[in-house]
């Protein structure tokens, strides 16, 4: 049986100190990822789990043109927020496309941003070759069955997917991560928060050991923007994305004035597509433009036999979400 100490933190400072000063400690939020990895799969064996669910970090508030989401807000509560429902359809649709109602009532926004990859080899300690779990050991997925893996940002060192739906919408919106550490508070744009898999697939984000995500700031869309999220998956619910896309457009007289586009199910990180956005802005909102944007969104894919189908599927996902959003009312 696995033994570890369970600690319930009551203040943010206490939680940060407890993990910062103990290299064997880790945070526990809703537990939907962490308990699988520690208790069920035995991927990690922290000596101490610091429960942060009693910290005063729940709730959503609108501050000017921004939504401030505290880290322990659940996925279900964020989806039910009136501003999200009215003004950020892409966020609401991404949230409700994720997991199941039961999971969304436990899973927190901070935990969603920090969820670990679903790569089956990473989650099976019996598999020796995994550069993310054991740096330098190789990558079993590159030669193994790899249907749910990444094609963008991937390499022979690691093709693990960042499987969050929410983060695809957040990266399209230029969300910012609020972080508290022993040295104080800092903010990092979500686009810079995740590290490219590169040489060190085990280093996934900019957090130092002990730093706590306290919230996410989501800039609201300009008035007149239309947005949405499309998730393509093997079954209609309770399944991770094969491909997905979040888009927000402002269209005036049939011409795209502003465009935001991000992809899921394909990247080692939630994948913003600036090259595609450049093609969209100033172009007519029609099929030819959307296909050109889709071609630009999937630049230099790295595929293995199991993931090759994603190249065309992702492009079609982009075309479909752009069509849907351009015809929607908000």
Give SS3 for 252: strand
Residues forming beta bridges with residue 25, ordered by sequence position: 48
> Does 34 participate in binding ligand FAD (rule CB under 6 A)?
yes
Number of residues near ligand SF4 (by CB under 6 A): 14
- Report the site for ligand FAD in 172-231 (rule: CB under 6 A): 212-213
The reply to whether 121 sits near ligand SF4 by the rule CB under 6 A is yes
* Closest to 34 (Cα-Cα) out of 25, 44, 24, 20: 44
Strands 60-63 and 66-70, sheet pairing: antiparallel
132 binds, among ligand SF4, ligand FAD, none (CB under 5 to 8 A by kind): ligand SF4
- The whole-angstrom separation of Cα 315 and Cα 266 is 11
What is the Cα–Cα distance from 55 to 58, expressed in whole angstroms?
8
Pairing, β 226-232 against β 243-252: antiparallel
Contact call for residue 117 and ligand FAD (CB under 6 A): no
Residue 194 binding target from ligand SF4, ligand FAD, none, CB below 5 to 8 Å by type: none
Q: Is residue 122 a contact point for ligand SF4 (CB under 6 A)? A: yes
Counting contacts by CB under 6 A, is residue 140 touching ligand SF4? Answer: yes
Q: How far is the CB of 279 from ligand FAD (least distance, A)?
A: 28
- Burial of residue 29 (CB within 10 Å: 0-12, 13-18, 19+) is buried
**Considering the complex, what minimum distance in angstroms separates the CB of residue 257 from ligand FAD?**
30
Judged by CB under 6 A, does residue 131 bind ligand SF4? Answer: yes
Q: Which sign does the torsion angle of CA 311, 313, 318, 323 carry?
A: positive
> Which positions touch ligand FAD (CB under 6 A)?
26-34, 71, 98-99, 103, 106-108, 110-112, 114-115, 163-166, 212-213, 240
> Which positions touch ligand SF4 (CB under 6 A)?
117, 119, 121-122, 130-132, 139-141, 158-160, 201
């Amino acid at each position: 049986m696995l033994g570890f100490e369970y600690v319930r933190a009551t203040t943010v400072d206490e939680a940060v100190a407890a993990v910062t000063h103990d290299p064997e400690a880790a945070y526990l939020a809703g537990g939907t990822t962490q308990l699988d990895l520690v208790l069920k799969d035995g991927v990690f064996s922290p000596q101490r789990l610091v429960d942060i669910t009693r910290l005063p970090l729940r709730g959503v508030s609108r501050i000017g043109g921004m939504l401030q989401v505290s880290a322990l807000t659940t996925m279900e509560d964020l989806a039910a927020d009136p501003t999200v429902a009215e003004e950020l359809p892409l966020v609401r649709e991404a949230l409700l496309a994720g997991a199941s109602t039961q999971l969304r009532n436990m899973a927190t926004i901070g935990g969603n941003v920090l969820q670990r990859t679903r790569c089956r080899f990473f989650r099976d300690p019996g598999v020796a070759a995994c550069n993310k779990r054991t740096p330098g050991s190789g990558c079993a997925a590159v030669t193994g069955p790899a249907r749910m893996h990444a094609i963008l940002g991937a390499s022979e060192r690691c093709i693990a997917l960042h499987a969050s739906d929410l983060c695809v919408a957040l990266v399209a919106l230029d969300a910012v991560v609020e972080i508290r550490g022993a040295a104080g508070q800092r903010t990092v744009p979500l686009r810079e928060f995740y590290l490219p898999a590169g040489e060190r697939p085990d280093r996934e984000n900019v957090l130092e050991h002990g730093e706590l995500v306290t919230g996410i700031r989501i800039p609201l869309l300009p008035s007149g923007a239309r947005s949405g999220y499309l998730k393509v998956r093997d079954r209609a619910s309770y399944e991770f994305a094969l491909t997905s896309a979040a888009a927000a457009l402002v269209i005036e007289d049939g011409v795209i004035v502003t465009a935001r586009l991000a992809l899921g199910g394909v990247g080692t990180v939630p994948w913003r597509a600036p090259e595609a956005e450049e093609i969209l802005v100033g172009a007519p909102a029609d099929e030819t433009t959307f296909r050109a944007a889709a071609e630009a969104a999937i630049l230099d894919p790295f595929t293995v036999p199991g993931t090759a189908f994603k190249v065309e599927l992702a492009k079609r996902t982009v075309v479909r979400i752009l069509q849907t959003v351009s015809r929607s009312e908000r």
